[in-house]
Structure 1
Amino acid sequence: MTSNSRTTAGASTTPLPAHELVVAALPGGGWQAEFDTGEHRTERSPIVAWLVHADGDLEPAILDRAGIAEDPREIANFIGLTPPTPAPDAPQARPA
């Protein structure tokens, strides 16, 4: 059974606020986080999951070098999120 609360040493258990409570995780779906590495270069990291919070917000998650999930938007050199690129042989939607 999972717990929806946080326990701090010496403190009582308190419920997490809705904006912190993760209720589901969805696959990254090919999205990437882009970072400025300096000298007009960028680097991309795959979004490994989208965390769904109780208040409905989605949070992208990447893995750091230690394998810990983190929100790329909180990293200083974050540029933006890049959507997946369709495969060249993928069927294209036709306008109605």
Structure 2
Amino acid sequence: MHSPTGWNAIFKPYRQEPVAGWDEAGYPVIVDAATGRRLTVHDLPDHEFCNLELVRHSFMTALPANDWQVVFADNDGAAFHVPVLAWLFTADGRATPVIADADGSAVDPRELGNFVQVWHPSSPTARIPSIPAHLKESN
């Protein structure tokens, strides 16, 4: 997840959340994905706030991702494709593909459990990818 402030909050048991801002008292605030509510880092249920970490690679630019696709595996092991909306580039040159999730939020598809690969149809080895055997067996 992208941190709008450049900071992530770290919790025990391990959880990492982007810091959305600070409250009037100066405490970091996150958005709880389960409720959509803004919470101070000390108010996240069932988690103990540990520390803040500076996000080392802030995004510098975004470029359209013409024709790039993400391949996912559904519960039956069949492949389905989702278009990549954009590529985000960091100051150190790393590229992150971005797709829209079911709620319309921008996400890195590589962080989703059923991610298979990112591909472009004009690649010399382009083909409709099949699901790797190890993913089929786990479903």
TM score, norm. by length of structure 1 = 0.70
Gaps of 5+ in 2: 8-20, 29-53, 124-139
For the 8 Å contact 1:18–1:54, the answer to whether it is kept is: no
Q: Deviations over 1:10-48 (max 9, x none)?
A: 248xxx5442x1110000111000001032311110000
TM score, norm. by length of structure 2 = 0.50
Distance in structure 2 (CA, Å) of the matches to 1:5 and 1:43:
33
Distance in structure 1 (CA, Å) of the matches to 2:116 and 2:101:
17
One-letter amino acid of the structure 2 residue matched with residue 46 of structure 1: P
| Paired position in structure 1 for 2:91 | 54
Distance in structure 1 (CA, Å) of the matches to 2:94 and 2:87:
10
Would you tell me which structure has more helix in proportion to its own residues?
Answer: 2
| Paired position in structure 2 for 1:91 | none
1:34 paired to 2:71: yes
Using the TM superposition, give the Cα deviation of residue 66 of structure 1 relative to its aligned residue in structure 2, in angstroms.
1.4
Gaps of 5+ in 1: 87-96
Distance in structure 1 (CA, Å) of the matches to 2:6 and 2:77:
44
Using the TM superposition, give the Cα deviation of residue 5 of structure 1 relative to its aligned residue in structure 2, in angstroms.
4.2
Q: Cα RMSD (Å) of the superposition? A: 2.6
For the 8 Å contact 1:34–1:44, the answer to whether it is kept is: yes
Distance in structure 1 (CA, Å) of the matches to 2:122 and 2:63:
18
Distance in structure 1 (CA, Å) of the matches to 2:120 and 2:97:
12
Aligned length: 82
